[in-house]
Amino acid sequence: MEKTFNLAVAQSPGELSGPEERLHWLSSKLKELDGKTVDLLLLPELFLTGYNVGERLMNWAEPCDGPMALRISELATKHNIAIHYGFPERRSDGVYNAAQCIGSDGQQLSIHRKLILPPGFEGDHFQAGKGCNLFDLNGFKIATLICYDAEFPEAFRHVASLGAQLVLVPTALGAQWGVVAQKVVPTRAFENGVYVAYANQAGSEGDMTYYGGSCVISPNGEEDARAGDNEEILIASLSTSKVLAAQKRLPYLSDLKRIDL
């Protein structure tokens, strides 16, 4: 039976300063979505704190059920929408670059901890996550990969092989890496026959300029929606039938098992 899924992707401004200002911005955007049929809102990597904020990021880290998470849970319930957001997660063994999805009932649906940390600040401050998981929402099987994770075809192929029909990718893509948003992300969708939603920030944050370019890519690799380099909310309607059609037309996932390397 065909299922449809209505997705919003937020390209938030990098200039937002700290969790309070970011939650205020989120609240205002949720009010704008009221009255529209949207199942889930996807926010960028480390949305809660900002990405290029130095050591303040560590100070703002919290558990997955911390004070800010509870406030996002209240917003999800109030606006009857699932909210998927990035945040620095504090655990007993360190801090993780994480993203979690809070359902419209205020309960956690999933959490993903970034698997592959690029060198520099992330590698010096975060612990690497392990494993991937899928969650179900309104008939769609959904996986999360965070930014650099998605640049590895192995990670994408893994979640697609688990049955993911939609892969959510919160990111903090700098202006010099536009090829990822324009070329790599559509390729990942095409070679796995899945939807990909890519949420980046816009503008600048400290000495970092973001590329923007948030997008929703269909299972055939074509754009369903694409942002420019300014703040924007994308809305797209997804269908499980398009996933099935793409994977039937190009059965990469099943034919992979036939390769004798």
What is the reported pLDDT for 260? 80
Confirm whether 141 is a catalytic residue.
no
Arithmetic mean of pLDDT, 16-21? 97
In whole angstroms, give the CA distance from residue 222 to residue 237: 14
Whether the pLDDT of residue 3 is over 90: the answer is no
Number of H helices, E strands in the chain: 9, 14
In whole angstroms, give the CA distance from residue 131 to residue 143: 11
Residue 224 belongs to what domain range? Answer: 4-258
- CB atoms < 10 A from the CB of 110, how many? 21
Confirm whether 147 is a catalytic residue.
yes
Instruction: Give 261's pLDDT tier (boundaries 50, 70, 90).
Output: confident
Reported as half-sphere exposure (CB side, CA atoms, 13 A), residue 163 has a value of 7
Find the catalytic residue in 62, 89, 101, 114.
114
Structural domains in the chain (count): 1
CATH number for the domain spanning 76: value is: 3.60.110.10
pTM of the model: 0.97
Confirm whether 45 is a catalytic residue.
yes
Radius of gyration of the chain (CA): 17
Find the catalytic residue in 45, 62, 205, 231.
45
What is the reported pLDDT for 59? 95
Find the catalytic residue in 147, 151, 205, 231.
147
Tens digits of residue pLDDT in 194-233:
999 999 999 999 999 999 999 999 999 999 999 999 999 9
φ/ψ of residue 31, rounded to 5: -65, -35
Instruction: Give 256's pLDDT tier (boundaries 50, 70, 90).
Output: confident
Arithmetic mean of pLDDT, 93-108? 98
In whole angstroms, give the CA distance from residue 148 to residue 170: 10
Whether the pLDDT of residue 73 is over 90: the answer is yes
